[in-house]
Amino acid sequence: MIRTSAIISPGTFPCTTAILQGSPFQVFQLAKEAGYDCVQLTIKGPGDYSVPELQELMQKYSLTISAMATGRIYTVDGLSMASEDEENRQLCLQRLMSLADISAQLGRPAIVIGAVRGLFRDASSPEIYYRQFDRSLRELTAYCEPLAVPVILEADDHLEADAFCDPQETLDYVRQIDSPVLFMYLDTMHLYNEHLDPAEIIRTFGRHSFSIDISGENRCAPMDSAMDFPAILQAIRESGFSGILTFEMPPSPPEENYIHSLRYIKDLLETGDGPLSPYL
């Protein structure tokens, strides 16, 4: 069964990816009222949220936490999984492991590996970058395996990343690591930025994806996008995907974007041809 998730942030810093921003109480209530199944945390450290408060809100609103977006570990604190500076790499890894510990207390939301992978400039060569990143990802998945905490590697784009921008490369690498907790995930905006056909890529790779981030170009709302979202949603249905559709975009404009975007995507899911396929 496909579920929907709203990316949230505390509202204490500028954020262009969280469709709901404010106190946890506010955003959980809004997400529930709008009809989301889950929320995804924007988080860079254990102090960003109160775990007991999140547990209470999950129970009160019958919402799960689907994932933890970790990009601010890199964009704010400068910690990179691929850093040639071993102290920096270890600090990054420790931070991710601390989030895995929190995840185990919150129903095991996935740890997102997006911006935290760093850039080629974090090492003296691409070869060293890949070596350091590989060490970090293998150590992180080994830590997460006994916790049963998923780790999801994003197929990004070259406007934001230097590595793992190609979906086939990303899937091949996930298979190479061969960890039961490691998965790939897709993002419609990144596919568009890579000049790929999002519908074609999702039809091919959707069944292998833990989640799919939904937004138009420049993180606009899907109903305002130049992308063919009816075709994208049909591809999602045909692909065998049965994970989480995550709504990654600013809260406005338009006002109440979190409501309108969800309704638009749900309508496309419900009016598409054929039944939803089981996750493979």
Whether 278 is in a domain gets the answer no
Is residue 91 one of the residues assigned to a domain? yes
Asked if residue 104 is part of any domain, the answer here is yes
pTM: 0.94
pLDDT at 279 over 70: no
Domain total of the chain: 1
Count of residues making up the chain: 280
Max intra-chain CA distance, the chain: 53
Q: Which residues contact 119 (CB under 8 A, 6 or more apart)?
A: 80, 82, 129, 161, 162
In a domain, 11, yes or no: yes
Q: Using the CB atoms, write b or e for 86-124: b if 16+ within 10 Å.
A: eebbebbbebbbebbebbeebebbbbbbbbbbbbbebbe
Residue 280 maps to a domain: no
Alpha helix stretches (DSSP H) within the chain: 24-34, 51-61, 72-75, 86-105, 126-144, 167-177, 188-193, 198-205, 229-239, 257-271
Q: What is the pLDDT of residue 272?
A: 62
3-state secondary structure of 177: helix
Amino acid code (one letter) for 153: L
In a domain, 279, yes or no: no
Tokens 């959707």 found at: 206
pLDDT tens, residue by residue, 25-77: 999 999 999 999 999 999 999 999 999 999 999 999 999 999 999 999 999 99
Q: Whole domain around residue 64: which residue ranges?
A: 3-271
224 CB-contact burial (10 Å; exposed 0-12 / middle 13-18 / buried 19+): middle
SS3 of the chain: helix, strand, coil, percent, to 5: 50, 15, 35
Q: Is the pLDDT of residue 278 over 50?
A: no
Residues 133-187 pLDDT 10s = 999 999 999 999 999 999 999 999 999 999 999 999 999 999 999 999 999 999 9
Instruction: Check which CATH number belongs to the domain holding 254 and give it.
Output: 3.20.20.150
Render pLDDT for 87-119 as a digit per residue (tens, 0 to 9). 999 999 999 999 999 999 999 999 999 999 999
pLDDT value for 280: 23
DSSP class of residue 3? E
Query: Which residue reads 């074609």 in tokens?
Result: 200
88 Cβ neighbours under 8 A, 6+ residues apart? 78, 79, 80, 122
Q: How confident is the model at residue 273 (pLDDT cuts 50, 70, 90)?
A: very low
Residues 87, 249: Cα–Cα separation, whole Å: 33
Does residue 210 contact residue 249 with C-beta atoms inside 8 Å?
no
Residue 189's pLDDT band (boundaries 50, 70, 90)?
Answer: very high
The reply to whether 277 falls in a domain is no
Name beta bridge partners: 21.
9
pLDDT over 80 (residue 276): no
Domain assignment present for 276:
no
Q: Is 247 exposed, middle or buried (0-12, 13-18, 19+ CB in 10 A)?
A: buried
